[in-house]
A and B are shown apart, each in its own frame.
Chain A
């Protein structure tokens, strides 16, 4: 019995060594460098890295901002198109993806990680296309070899929470809105608001301002509009995806702003139109550049797109804020797609372009159903001509 014990114990060091070896192997895997250079070990390591790439292109994890897989292809045009970026168009992109997959069998993996993340990922070439609400400038596009076009549009609306006030009962103009968000107008019965709303009883209560705390394309387009109409805003606050808000609280995402406005009386915030409509929030009407009072609806957004001069800015990077036209909603915004002119993976890019072409052609009804506005046909034609002229494969032939 004593002997058996001893024999068992002599085995113990072997076990410890095996443990050590396991740790060493794990460490080698973790650092990503094969511990030996013979052919079998390199084989195994390369096969493992390609399986990681497969995982990343098929996973639907929207938080995978740090996808570092080297292989950007969607497996030779089979199965998946990989994209990442703005959260604003995510509902319509996923709806299109669903219908497109049913029709063609090709899926879309879109990570809605925000416009900034989309730009970072397309520049790191981990995705086939990036999506952004704030367009890149002409120089930035040329510098990085990207092309850009608008895919779909939407509106931003001010939403309020006042007892007894229903949607559209309050009308604001650009400067008043800017002054409210700067804290210069801090009470609901301020003469500036009263002057625009004769006949409405305004409460004597301080205004609770709700803004976006996370960096967001919505904020970019909203502050762009305020800077257009208010010089004070332009000089003191500026335009960006996140700004130095002089007053108010910040909430995360459209749903956060909506919840904070709904949860506190006398508040005002700004959300995407689709969000306001689906949650039946109390929105304000606006006085547009032409001096007319308009309600936020599909026609008013489409009017903004119609009056815009899309070819005036490289990459169609027109901001639709404060466009002319009698029925134009002043806070309209387009969301953009970014792709490489000479992509590394022709097949994947061709698949992506096919998807966008399909979306332009057959996706309008679904877009309107979700309160997005499809691009006008003149813009679609121009974009498709640009694809043919600029996005070229290895052989110099256009991909579509």
Chain B
């Protein structure tokens, strides 16, 4: 009997030891796992810093040569080595802003239609069509824009715009000339088509997270669909909608190929949206292959660095805005 007791005791001791070994194993495994994820995280940080440092080092000669002048000068003359970044910076910002102004209402409209009023049978096909639009490579938009869209605008839309706005002061300066099909407005329109799917698919996803009970309660109080969307759905999903918008803006700021095809690539700032312009990414894509090493190449690095900083500022501003909204809601 005592033998059995001993056996049981031994068994228990063995079991405890086994268990603690297993537990030690767990701890080790967990450490290794968290180390792996840490490395993955640091890879991103290291690459990001590396890109930033490399861009800045490449840009340094240009910044030293031109200083603040670079941000305000409009001249761009490779033979004379006079470079000013303002037209490219202006073009980048203005095309993205116009694109957002067009795409935001349309994108939200698509999302609202899909989640609130669309018949069930149509939801899937339309949703897929919108997502396919997001998958179209930008070069396709560029070719389509250059061969079909720009000539169409030049022939039918631009003259009408010029005629329509001619008697309105201020706006007639924004819509003047219009003899070129490739211009700032064409680039903005192409950009807006490219970013609509980002806005609408993100918005649709967040709209679907609105609890049905909230909406039903609002409908029960006699709200119209418009009131439900405005007072319930959008306030509830504000953060997600703004996030989708920022994603779209980020894409618009950096878009290269499609814009290069249709913006007209002129290093000049014109008041009219129907005149050619350029953007930072279009300038870099156009001129890098043939840029002489030295100041010319360095200027392109400087433009790249500025684009990096602009994108960073946009993201930071978006974050700040979200934080303030959330704080206000908290109070």
Chain A positions within 8 Å of B, measured between CB atoms, are: 6, 9-10, 12-13, 16-17, 19-20, 23, 65, 113-117, 120, 206, 208, 213-216, 237-245, 248-252, 256, 259-260, 263-264, 266
Contacts and interface: CB of A to CB of B under 8 A. Distances in A.
Contacts of B261: 252, 256
A250 B266 contact: yes
Q: What is the size category of the interface that chain B forms with chain A?
A: 35 or more
A215 B291 CA distance: 7
Contacts of B33: 16
Contacts of A238: 77, 79-80
B8 interface: no
Contacts of B260: 213, 252
Given A206-B179, A263-B150, A242 B265 contact: no
Interface string B192-233: 000000000000000000000000000000000000000000
A256 B146 contact: yes
Given A216-B290, A243-B78, A250-B278, 20 more contacts: A9-B25, A9-B26, A10-B25, A13-B32, A17-B32, A23-B36, A116-B289, A206-B179, A208-B180, A213-B260, A213-B287, A238-B79, A238-B80, A239-B79, A241-B78, A244-B80, A244-B82, A249-B264, A250-B265, A264-B151
A214 B78 contact: no
Contact of B290 (A208, A237, A242, A260): A242
Contacts of B76: 244
22 contacts: A10-B22, A12-B25, A13-B26, A16-B29, A16-B32, A16-B36, A20-B32, A23-B39, A23-B40, A65-B289, A114-B289, A213-B265, A213-B287, A214-B286, A214-B290, A215-B290, A244-B82, A250-B264, A251-B265, A252-B286, A256-B261, A264-B154
Contacts of B276: 248-250
Contacts, number: 131
A241 B290 contact: yes
B21 interface: yes
B35 interface: yes
Interface in B119-154: 146-147, 150-151, 154
B11 interface: no
Contact of A250 (B19, B32, B286, B290): B286
User: Which of A213, A245, A248, A263 has the most chain B CB within a 10 Å cutoff?
Assistant: A213
A215 to B, nearest CB: 2
Contacts of A13: 25-26, 28-29, 32
A114 B79 CA distance: 18
Interface string B6-31: 00000000000011011001101100
A237 B75 CA distance: 11
